[in-house]
Amino acid sequence: MIGIIGGTGIYSPDEFKIIEKVNPETPYGKTSAPLTICEIKDKKVVFLPRHGEKHTIPPHKINYRANIWALKELGVERIIAPNAVGSLKEELKPGMLIFPDQFIDFTKRRDYTFYDGPKVVHISNSEPFCPELRKLLFEKANKLGFESSNKATYICIEGPGFSTKAESNMFRQFADIIGMTLVPEVKLARELEICYASISMVTDYDVWKERDEVSADKVKETMAKNITKVRKLLLEVIPEIPEDRNCVCSRALEDAQI
């Protein structure tokens, strides 16, 4: 089963046959919203809006552990996670789709692990995203003619406010895109041996670029255009995701315990 963590606009009943909605209980509390189980070309897909059905949950208040745990309990083995990001590089333009290969965690007060003791686990994050999913997403994006990149470092900040200019210029030295929702989502997925890939939708140039500063309205406007691309991409990718997994994600716990 495949999990999609993103906004409600990603799926539509015309393309994804909705089977049911479930509202699971987890040891970590409630998920952001009920999970919608759909079907597309014999593939089961679970949609979860990370900010809630009406976008009422800010990034620092999302119950990431409940969300990832619930997807695992439903049998999800792969997660594709669309999210909005700002660009820290001139060449990564608004409207592009980015499939990052690395991240830097600049968040401050989130729940980052399922292993709070007494069991101690140290998960490797050297290659944090699933290479199989990233490769497939990038290939299909190119086939559809979408401007994209599969080489980028995502820096995740706490939010919900945007960066200062000083912060944005500092982040530019180390990262390519900036957002608020990747961490700890990606870390928690790896702890449960779920493959994870981000579709990072560039909406703006953050605040480092003069006369092109980020705003909520600008993000929403570009997001609306990107959602159409992402929906087309998912329709292309989902039927071709293989049953077998041969990636590091599926073996993450093998050498993680001390």
Instruction: Give buried/exposed letters for 136-173 (b at 16+ CB in 10 A, else e).
Output: bbbebbeeeebebbbebbbbbbeeeebbeeebbeebbe
Q: Find the catalytic residue in 101, 105, 176, 204.
A: 204
Task: Say whether 14 is catalytic.
Answer: no
Map residue 97 onto helix, strand or coil.
Answer: strand
Q: Which residues contact 243 (CB under 8 A, 6 or more apart)?
A: none
Number of other residues whose CB lies within 10 A of the CB of residue 231 = 18
Instruction: Tell me if residue 206 is catalytic.
Output: yes
Q: Which of the 8 DSSP states describes residue 257? A: B
Segment (H or E) for 11? none
Q: Given 101, 105, 176, 206, which residue is catalytic? A: 206
In the structure encoding, which two tokens stand for residue 94, read together?
């608004």
CA 140/CA 136 separation, integer angstroms: 6
DSSP H or E segment with residue 165: helix 165-171
Q: Is the dihedral of CA 140, 146, 149, 154 positive or negative?
A: negative
Q: How far apart are CA 109 and CA 184, in angstroms?
A: 10
d(CA 45, CA 170): 39
Structure tokens at 150: 């599969």
Cα–Cα distances (Å) from 82 to 42, 45, 175, 197, in that order, read 22, 14, 19, 9
| Positions marked catalytic | 204, 206
